[in-house]
Structure 1
């Protein structure tokens, strides 16, 4: 919006003001150079004061944009985790966090408003002082017969022509600052370094040799460049071949960041994540993702049929019909597809608009299962389905994926009951490890979360 204003209304007003402020003083100079110099004094002083406020506004507009982005990101994370917030009765905490960010944004906006109220009228006051000087000095020069009444009237008329451009300068300054902040943000995106495949690709035989290796995380710590705090702090665990591991944690625990480190979507530090004895940073991202397949919470679906969206996840287009029906059954989507008039030839619409949230998530699971990788990461992909469907999907997956490792990230304890090991994350740190029964006895956070969700499940069934 700021860029659009700058190149639209901003440029138009700047052009008008530039012409008026360039030509009008020349006409005034032709009438009386001395009176013109006196008239320029208050405007010059006003410009010096205005420049101080202008610099301060630039800093505040940038801060305002960053705080607005922070608030928007937090609100999006809270909305995506609304089920967890309700189940763990976190509404008061979320409201307090949102109110704190709102107040910070409001204070920043008030600082900008105060500058606009104090500094912007300075140019208007300078225009009024200029008129007073013209009347006073012009009257004195008229009595001394240095100027005629007509020349003073013309001079005063020209000064009136300066009033509107001077008033526009305040608005132009605001538009300019908003536009420059927007341009700076756009340049940050456009100039961002695109990660290159800095490692040579492995041959098919070398990729196959990765099968059966243990996926290990060793003392992983990670922070984003824009944040000072650690998102992940000294995280260590193993995922042996064929093992089913779960990760439980609240909002802001670092679950999604951990997933993006494991699949190398983020630039992870060296000697932190290993595949067997090899650091994953020594693999190209393409090769690593042939070993690791991630199913995200918000899947992207193409405007195509259900079958075409599922086959999109396969490198071999000649997968038989029986296998396709099998993955539909495993993902608990077969009964839904059977109710559609055109079955799996039903068009899902742009981004899957014709499907519910749960159906889209199950479709993404079916897509991943068509050609399962050695390690399948499920990042909160069952948040939009009920507890019973979730249990059936996981039981079917685990019975089918005997040789594949599975990492299930969830805020639901019910989804983690069947895991060989559950890792509990809190503020980027591992606070507990163990299977479901062990954690119920040893981890108060896990027990409390399980009890709250059991009560919610019973309330839904009533």
Structure 2
């Protein structure tokens, strides 16, 4: 606010310096003879009218430079403030999204969230925050400039200002509906573009094999064209009034000069007034245009703002993100009592009346046909889902939304489709840990147990070898073994292997199973598999069939 006031005063100072500058240029003798300025000439040791011009010129130049510098500083401060707020918004959306329950994540499209965190959050900065700051500062500067112009000529100032303001209001009223509709189109199609890119690049193998390039290109072209057409219309609506107003301003100035020329007033004496009004108009019209452009951005960004606010309103536990220093106690049993589960209130039960006790250190095999709930059962054990009814407890302590992070902190999970980031092997094994804090010896031990160390050592860059996006530079079996090494690196008390050896050949699978079997007996293992041979070494074998569990061993 202080910076805005400073910029406003600098603008007034620069405009006010125009009048004496032009007066000295056109009639220096008259200025020199003004009684009120005699003391100033004495202070500056000015003894003739010809000596006034250098002094007034310096004042005019300084005023112009100070005004420009203050406006530049104001723009810099507003931009920094708006984009800092945008960074906070983007981070907060990402934070709230990451801490949402697993059930929320599986029911939403990741492209919508990604576009919300990146594109939509950035658009809030350019369409909402920056325009609000610009309009606020422009309004303050405009009011102070108008006050100074009223001292020059009340009639011309009020007439011109009200004329231009009315024209902007008429244009804004005409276009407001169009801007809002375009804003909806922009928000909708930006998400579709993001989704199409993500799906097209993520499924590039199937696209190449099935010759589907034109299908994805057509979706992208239609959405991108609609997006850019609406963006172009909004830009035109925001920018076009400027040129009309500038032309009308020149016409008004010409008419005013014509009026003075036809009157009895001396044209020479009117030049300072004309010059002051001309320069003031050159300052006022851009400010009006800035305000109008800001309004068009806000109007077009309303739908985008609603989407961002919706993401910011995602509920989140107040303790989310705090360090978990007190893992849940697990010394005896994991118990499931009368557990039922379904994904939604109207859907069928995936798991029905599950009653089970699993002792610490057990090796538990889970088998069953595809679609019988093996992965769902494992997700429930890991606390990713809460039972629809019944309880999951560890050493008698019921797992709920308050203590589930403490339970999950003891767990390592190796899924069927392991996620690998586009980074080095060592960073993927010690996933989520800063590279400078990775225990290299632990990484090597985990790789050895997962039967991947020999392959890594054969690579030119060994553990610093990059695996490519989603591990595309590795075979399916190698990706799985890195996933197993990741689980072993965590030194977790409970390890879940969800079809983790399905991509391995029989010999490698047997070697890894033997390595897993040789792990510390205090570690509890859950192994989901299709083949009974994979889980033969387990203490317990559970068979899932139509949501029920049968203990086979």
TM range (shorter): 0.5 to 0.7
CA distance, structure 2, for counterparts of residue 62 and residue 353 of structure 1: 34
Equivalent position of 2:14 in the other structure = none
In structure 2, the gaps of 5 or more residues are 1-121, 359-363, 518-523, 536-540, 549-553
Give the secondary-structure state (helix, strand or coil) at the position aligned to 2:344: strand
Distance change >3 Å, CA 119–CA 349, structure 1 → 2: closer
* Residue segments in structure 1 that go unaligned for 5+ positions in a row: 223-229, 250-254, 409-413, 424-429, 434-462
Match of 2:153 among 29, 32, 47: 32
Residue among 478, 485, 491 paired with 1:366: 485
Residue in structure 2 matching 1:219, options 325, 331, 342:
342
Change in Cα spacing, 1:270 to 1:306, as seen in structure 2 (3 Å) is closer
Q: Which has the higher Rg, Structure 1 or Structure 2?
A: 2
- Name the CA shift for 1:96/1:29 in 2 (closer, same or farther; >3 Å): same
Asked if 1 retains the 8 angstrom alpha-carbon contact of 2:336 and 2:391, the reply is no
Q: What CA deviation, in whole Å up to 9, does each residue of 1:10-35 have, x standing for no partner?
A: 79987996687445544543343222
Query: 2:337 and 2:494 mapped to 1: Cα distance?
Result: 10
- Equivalent in the alignment of 1:426: none
The alpha-carbon distance between structure 1 residues 22 and 243, as it changes in their structure 2 partners (threshold 3 A), is: same
Corresponding position of 1:244: 366
Equivalent-residue separation in structure 2 for 1:306 and 1:282 (angstroms): 30
| Match for residue 107 of structure 1 among 226, 232, 241 | 226
- Secondary structure (helix, strand or coil) at the match of 2:388 reads coil
| TM-score (normalised: structure 2) | 0.49
Alignment check: 8 A CA contact 1:295 1:378 kept: yes
Equivalent residue number for residue 45 of structure 1: 166
Provide the C-alpha distance between the structure 2 equivalents of 1:355 and 1:104, rounded to a whole number of angstroms: 29
SS at match of 1:220: coil
Q: Counterpart in 2 of 1:127?
A: 246
Say if 2:410 and 2:492, in contact at 8 Å, map to a contact too.
Answer: no
User: Once the two structures are superposed, what CA deviation does each residue of 1:76-133 show, in whole Å capped at 9, x if it has no partner?
Assistant: 355445456667x4x63x8646743653453244233223323531243233234334
Counterpart for residue 271 of structure 1: 388
Cα 1:336–1:106, aligned 2, differ >3 Å: closer, same or farther? same
TM-superposed deviation, 1:275 = 3.6
**Counterpart residue number, 1:298:** 419
- Matches of 1:351 and 1:215, distance apart in 2: 45
Counterparts in 2 of 1:27 and 1:112: CA distance versus 1, 3 Å: same
- The CA distance in 2 between the partners of 1:422 and 1:85, in whole Å, is 37
Distance in 1 (CA, whole Å) between partners of 2:391 and 2:208 is 37
Map of 1:423-438 to 2, 5 A cutoff? none
> How far apart, CA to CA, are the structure 1 residues paired with 2:143 and 2:452?
71
Query: What is the CA distance between 1:214 and its match in structure 2?
Result: 8.9
Residues paired across the two proteins, number: 387
Q: Judging changes above 3 Å, is the alpha-carbon distance between structure 1 residues 194 and 307 closer, same or farther for their aligned structure 2 residues?
A: closer
After superposition, residues 173-252 of structure 1 pair within 5 angstroms as 185=308, 188=311, 193-194=316-317, 196=319, 204=329, 207-211=330-334, 218-221=341-344, 234=348, 236-237=350-351, 242-245=364-367
Offset, 1:43:
1.6
Return closer, same or farther for 1:201/1:377 CA change in 2, 3 Å cut-off: same
Comparing 70-79 with 35-44, greater Cα deviation is found at: 70-79
Alignment of 1:289-438 (within 5 A): 289=408, 292-295=411-414, 297-299=418-420, 309=430, 328=447, 331-339=450-458, 346-347=463-464, 356-357=473-474, 362-369=481-488, 371=491, 374=494, 376-378=496-498, 389=504, 394-397=509-512, 404-407=525-528
Contact preservation (8 Å) 2:196, 2:219:
no
Contact in 2 for aligned 1:39/1:134 (Cα 8 Å):
no
